[in-house]
């Protein structure tokens, strides 16, 4: 990559302690996740306000612009600066975004927490996406991914109330892991990291704790990832979009249980795995 945008460094607390009273009237501190607004400004123009944990705000902003198809390349971005006291992130592009008013005029209210809207027209690009048909996922690799997420040191384990997303190699090695108050923020953050590091998605597996809705499938397809797995379920439109782009969806992935609902030809079953005891760390 010939150019990397100038990024700010803006660490913030991800959890806070508050007092709670349990059913026995005992008072004790409990950790809760942070939630803070972050208003995206592009070349001085206010674009959208995201509600975020704040774990990776620069990557979140970059991934959001990528997944909304507002910029075509990392080289289009000069800088991304986060100002937490002002609850804003300022994006400076190299040459502006053409027709930004028209491109952002139509918004679709989504089922996603922490974001709430997507700019219209994304479905128009679905027909141009071709996911690799020869990609394969072993049953043992799926179990490795599920177990890695289960044992991951996380905000969710300490405070709950957040979604997590992870990008894995075809061998089940964790590449990126991000948590946020909304699953869309988490997937956009990983999209930004992939774009910044020039990581391609054709041989990757994406895990999310959230449900597999149409917008999640669209974003996974835009990232070129053939496998999308979740401990939750899928929606009818998520299923339909996944079939259209030939993405492999695996839902209800807990322990050794999973439901393969689309892209079934990519799965390599290993029945002998069910004959051995499940180890719980």
Are both 116 and 148 inside the same structural domain?
Answer: no
Give the number of other CB atoms < 10 A from CB of residue 154: 16
Taking only the tens place, the pLDDT of each residue in 119-159 is 555 666 788 888 999 999 999 999 999 999 999 989 988 88
Query: Does 141 reside within a domain?
Result: yes
Query: Does 185 reside within a domain?
Result: yes
**Percent of the chain clearing pLDDT 90 (strictly above):** 76
Measured CA to CA in angstroms, residue 185 lies from 103, 125, 143 at distances of 21, 21, 25
Which CATH number is 249's domain given?
3.40.140.10
Query: Does 191 reside within a domain?
Result: yes
Query: Does 72 reside within a domain?
Result: yes
User: For residue 281, what is the enclosing H or E element?
Assistant: none
pLDDT of residue 2: 63
Residue 195's nearest CA partner among 70, 96, 99 is: 70
Domain residue limits at 39:
6-121
Are both 141 and 114 inside the same structural domain?
Answer: no
Quote the mean pLDDT of the chain: 90
Q: How many independent structural domains does the chain possess?
A: 2
Overall average pLDDT of the 194-207 stretch: 96
pLDDT of residue 172: 98
Are both 103 and 184 inside the same structural domain?
Answer: no
Query: Does 130 reside within a domain?
Result: no
CA distance 74 to 238: 28
CA distance 139 to 136: 10
Are both 117 and 141 inside the same structural domain?
Answer: no
Query: Does 48 reside within a domain?
Result: yes
The pTM for the full model equals 0.88
The CA-based angle 190-245-130, given to 5 degrees, is 80
CA distance 227 to 246: 10
Query: Does 236 reside within a domain?
Result: yes
Measured CA to CA in angstroms, residue 147 lies from 24, 151, 280 at distances of 35, 6, 9
Are both 148 and 87 inside the same structural domain?
Answer: no
Phi, psi of 26 (to 5 degrees): -85, 130
Are both 157 and 98 inside the same structural domain?
Answer: no
Are both 194 and 250 inside the same structural domain?
Answer: yes
Are both 178 and 80 inside the same structural domain?
Answer: no
Overall average pLDDT of the 238-261 stretch: 96
Query: Does 132 reside within a domain?
Result: no
Are both 110 and 155 inside the same structural domain?
Answer: no
CA distance 7 to 78: 9
Q: List the single range of 104-108, 142-146, 226-230 with lowest mean pLDDT.
A: 104-108
CA distance 216 to 211: 8
């Amino acid at each position: 990559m010939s150019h990397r945008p100038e990024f700010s460094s803006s660490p913030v607390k991800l959890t806070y302690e508050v007092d709670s009273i349990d059913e026995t009237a005992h008072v004790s501190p409990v950790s809760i996740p942070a939630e803070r607004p972050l208003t995206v400004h592009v070349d001085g123009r206010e674009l959208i306000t995201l509600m975020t944990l704040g774990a990776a705000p620069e990557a979140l902003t970059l991934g959001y612009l990528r997944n909304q198809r507002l910029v075509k390349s990392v080289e289009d971005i000069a800088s991304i600066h986060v100002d937490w006291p002002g609850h804003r992130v300022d994006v400076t592009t190299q040459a502006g975004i053409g027709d930004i008013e028209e491109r952002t005029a139509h918004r679709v209210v989504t089922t996603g927490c922490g974001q709430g809207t997507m700019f219209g027209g994304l479905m128009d690009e679905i027909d141009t996406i071709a996911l690799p048909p020869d990609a394969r996922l072993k049953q043992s690799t799926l179990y490795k991914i599920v177990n890695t997420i289960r044992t991951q040191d996380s905000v969710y384990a300490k405070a709950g109330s957040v979604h997590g997303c992870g990008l894995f190699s075809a061998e089940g090695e964790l590449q990126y892991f991000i948590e946020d108050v909304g699953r869309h923020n988490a997937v956009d953050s990983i999209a930004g990291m992939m774009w910044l590091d020039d990581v391609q998605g054709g041989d990757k597996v994406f895990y999310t704790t959230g449900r597999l809705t149409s917008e999640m499938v669209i974003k996974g397809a835009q990232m070129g990832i053939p496998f999308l797995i979740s401990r939750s379920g899928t929606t009818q439109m998520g299923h339909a979009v996944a079939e259209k782009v030939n993405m492999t969806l695996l839902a209800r992935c807990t322990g050794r249980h999973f439901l393969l609902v689309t892209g079934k030809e990519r799965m390599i079953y290993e029945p002998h795995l069910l004959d051995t005891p499940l180890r719980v760390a």
